[in-house]
Amino acid sequence: MKPKLKAEYKLRIPSDTDNLELIRSFVAKVAEKVGFIPDDICKIELACDEACTNVMKHAYDQSSKNTSLDVIIKIDYQKFTLVVTDHGKGFDPDTIKMPNVKEYLAELKVGGLGIYLMRTLMDEVDYDIKPGVQNQVRMVKYFLDKKKPGLVNTAKGV
Amino acid sequence: MENFNVNRIDKEDISVLYISGFLDAHTAPELEEAIQKLIDGQRYKLVINFKDLSYISSAGLGVFMGFIEQIREHSGDIKMSNMTPKIFRVFDLLGFPTLYDIVEDETLAIIKFRS
């Protein structure tokens, strides 16, 4: 089946690690439906897991009433955009740096590698942070010539 | 639905953990518990067999990072074997092959401990 060239898929789900598997299945199924190859589906799935795990671990405290998160996928002619939104305490995006992985691993510290992975796996990653109101991580994967016909990209050096 | 499992087989002073399913932020505590149990029993030579692991996130990799220092301080090691290309790629992206002994087969990991 040829996928629609413009579509939006949305999942609203409790911010609980118990739901990671379900979120990954949702994202992987949509990525597959729009024609990504298995290798790219794995990358999108992992990047989404890392973004959602960050929300589940850090966005809300025990006093939070609304502890849901939204995973929205927007498909247009050239790209697959994945937006993870929470309503928690947010963070200062200026404090997020690409970690020096070698240094980091040498110190054998736990955690913090999720953001590095997201930036490595996806073509674009950016943040829109409004603490307590809405925090978004937006990630983009471009359709390249390796996917199904009908979604051929001309925007990214292809 | 496939989840996560750890099975352990002791081969003299070496413990092999067979992990299967999805290793993410939800299931990582289960692996942490299994490794902590080994450390509590002063077993510091570990082989992790990844043959049946279908998914790993940074939360899963974090488990190994959390224990490796302590294990090596006791002259032990965590050696990893039987990774599928998909799992190896995640380790590779984060530079793990320079820090951990990742081998093709469990037997090879055991031989490395013996030699």
Give the residue numbers in A contacting B (CB under 8 Å), as ranges.
17-18, 20-21, 24, 42, 45-46, 49-50, 53, 56-57, 101-102, 105-106, 108-111, 113-114, 116-117, 120-121
Residue A96 CA: distances (Å) to CA of A59, A99, A100, A119, A126: 15, 9, 12, 11, 11
Going from N- to C-terminal start, the domains of chain A cover: 7-142
Q: Do B58 and A50 touch (CB under 8 A)?
A: yes
Residue numbers in A near B21 (CB within 8 A): none
Q: Do B57 and A42 touch (CB under 8 A)?
A: no
Q: Do A42 and B86 touch (CB under 8 A)?
A: yes
Question: What is the per-residue pLDDT across B70-111, written as a single tens digit (0 to 9) for each?
Answer: 999 999 999 999 999 999 999 999 888 998 999 999 999 999
- Token pair of B40, please? 């509590």
- In sequence order, the 6+-apart residues with CB closer than 8 A to the CB of A156 are A78, A123, A142, A144
Query: Check: CATH 3.30.565.10 for A7-142?
Result: yes
CATH number of B4-114: 3.30.750.24
- In sequence order, the 6+-apart residues with CB closer than 8 A to the CB of B41 are none
Q: Do A116 and B62 touch (CB under 8 A)?
A: no
Element (H, E) at A68: strand A68-75
Distance CA A139, CA A135 (A): 13
Question: What is the per-residue pLDDT across A2-57, written as a single tens digit (0 to 9) for each?
Answer: 555 789 999 999 999 999 999 999 999 999 999 999 999 999 999 999 999 988 98
Residue A106 has pLDDT above 60, yes or no: no
What pLDDT score was predicted for residue A140?
97
